[in-house]
Chain A
Amino acid sequence: MTSKLSFLTQTSLNRKIKTKWFVVVNIILAIAIIGIINIDSIITIFGGDFNKKQEVYVIDETNQVFDLFKTNVENTDISLNEKEETSFDIVKYDKTIEEAKEEMQEKDNLWLIVFEEDETTYLRASVISNGYIETLDYQIISQAITNAKTTIAIENSNISSSELEAIYAPATIERVILDEDKTTEGENSSMIMSVVFPVVILPFFMLSLFLVQMIGAEVNDEKSTRGMEIIISNVSPQTHFFSKVLAGNIFVLLQGFLLFAYGALGFLVRNLLGGSSITNGVGAYVGSLLDVFLQGGLGDKLIYIIPLALILIVLTFIAYSLLAGILASMTTNIEDFQQLQTPIILISLLGYYLALMSNMFHGSLLIRIISYVPFISAILSPSLLMVGQIGIIDVIISIILTIVTNYLLIKYGLRIYKVGILNYSSKDLWKKMFKAMKN
């Protein structure tokens, strides 16, 4: 019987993998994922005015602000936008304001800044442009002007250079959290969740829906063509049931692995291309988030978070596939199954939204309790563990509850499956199923 189980599993798996659509879909997925991670490089390949610098003319009537202003703008721009060099080209202008304005009529990409002395406020500045200035650029410039003004004010107050250095030095801040269970990385939970969402929650949600639909469609296909009678006359319903569960799970794990492989390939391509400093793609975004992840001390935690999450995910996939097989056996066609699978989708959707909202309701007891619930726990539990809202014990409780659920699904579900797969009538369906469960 073992060889028949492996044959049925292999056949079921081949029906999913050895199809042109599996290949086509995976080629599309690979291209899409690698493309999204390298979107900045792709944009650069197609060309554009990405390297053009913003020209800024400065008329400094005070004769002491220009150098300060220039240094300040360039440093702020490099540090804020994580660039290697500034995109501002700041030039001291020796001609008149009117001449500068004339030049601005011919050049769109030119701004003029005029510094004048002011008796009461030390410094007055005019920022002149032909059109709008982007908010971030305007903030950089206005911040640099304010800093220059502060410097002039301090210098005029006869403060020594050592005092000046102390004033400008960044303040030393020590962050202390009294609750030992809470870590500073927990404060970055929104940042962490933005990594967990695309890497864990979204693929899991997609794959679990895929698994449910796939098993339902396959069982219904065999049932509606009456091929089931021949199959069940040769192998036991248990063997048939487990072959579907095994094939479905192997398939989603393979597909999940392929999704991660495409992601890894995307980052490899990104490294080879060297990325682009001009536009920030998803790769750069995820890369910077991972830095936060690792710098916050989560790197050490991943050693146990990943195995626990994987165990929970695999167990939950098994639970979904057992439930899908049982429900599919009760229905007589794919339309009925689609209706019956709606509650499963809603349960999965609940976990999906709770995982997203957990950050908004930090410390919610309800979300913590729901994180133990099988089917939902695989999405919710690892997410909450990563942001420090629950501990390892909570995840272990979720794992134990999922194992118990799987045991009950196998014990009682198999009885339903045995009766259901050869039942072609929807009359007294639930009565028949409850009766089967009791037998």
Chain B
Amino acid sequence: MSQDTLFDKVWDLHKVSSLRGGSDQIFIGLHLIHEVTSPQAFGALKDKNLKVKFPDRTVATVDHIVPTDNQSRPFKDNLAEQMIETLENNCLEHKIRFFNIGSGNQGIVHVVAPELGLTQPGMTIACGDSHTSTHGAFGSIAFGIGTSQVRDVLATQTIAMNKLKVRQIWCENQLSNGVFAKDLVLHIINKLGVKAGVGFAYEFAGPAINALSMEERMTICNMSIEGGARCGYINPDEKTFSYIKNKLCAPKNEHWDNALKWWESLKSDENSIYDDVIKVDASKIEPTVTWGITPGQSISINQQIPLLNELSPNDKLVAEEAFEYMSFKPGQSIKDIPVEVCFIGSCTNGRISDLRIAAKVLKDKKVSKNVKAFVVPGSERVANKAKQEGLDKIFKDSGFQWREPGCSMCLAMNSDKLIGNQVSASSSNRNFKGRQGSPNGRTLLMSPAMVAAAAINGKVCDVREFIN
């Protein structure tokens, strides 16, 4: 059993009681909600005649269903309009702070909370969204929950949960030029598998992690769940603290000094005990692309799609399914596979640094005429910053469509969808069958820089040829 890790410290601090069944009752320091997984939870509160216990500790925004072309109200899609109205009414009724479209602070919930300084080390953070693991980048313990647990958090600010085991993923050396956090996390998921993290929290550590910016760290923790780990985190350091400093909701004045002192104490102790430790050599990683229907099915840009006999019996079953669905052949090179749609955005890679690197690749270049390319900033703040820096112009000049913030084609709950069996190069997090809105649509996950390069060439290519 793990001991003295950040996970242990934060868990123990938030433990309210041991429940009769043997699970723990855990206090949730910050609860984030959005329009898709909260309405039924509010409905259940009403049925049980309960109130929101700590309305101040829940913050709402709208992201999944928002259109990214025309955001004027009412939305063209009646169901989407009904969902945003329901959230507006619930927030009003229960006095919950809501960052609506046009507030300047709306966006994907996992982009918004960190950029407002809501996400802080040592907190427990829950949200009805599996990518809540993102917030672990700050040394918080953050995990996705279902709607019944959203109801529990609203009603009690606690949930019943079994304590997770802790696996440290030690990333040695440094990523090389043209290789990004997305490549690192795709590599880790490929190495460990998509279910290795079940029952675990992942602690990402080591020189390669220390060298990452906060936004890159968010990309890593965001995709913990794709490796099966509901929770992923990174010990906070100077980068964490300076990212938070002066943010809207950051501790101010004398509170800042107290916060710093406490945050420093949260790091996993030098002699802490882990349930498991895995080592990864970051310097060996190359730009990585998925070829299949799970985020674990990835290869380096210069590799071939694996042959069936190279895979374990368990992986074979899903690989066969993937070959059939993707219409790719074992042994085929991933390079030069034509792409029809290029999507830059999502809670994984829709932040300002993602837009900057993509714009750097796209500057003075044109998107291939066979490609529909669009960029969806992760939040209104990201969009505004990008405009200040002139990035929107670079994107538009290259042939990218510049859209309004939201989740968009990561999960295609709005009108941004693949058509038929289109192949998309996507900076998002899931390449599941049908994920991007078409039951036959095909998704290749990669870093935003790689998506930009694919957009220019009209096919999968090595971004290092553009930036080195």
Note whether A and B form a binding pair: no
Taking Cβ atoms with an 8 Å cutoff, the residues of A that contact B are none
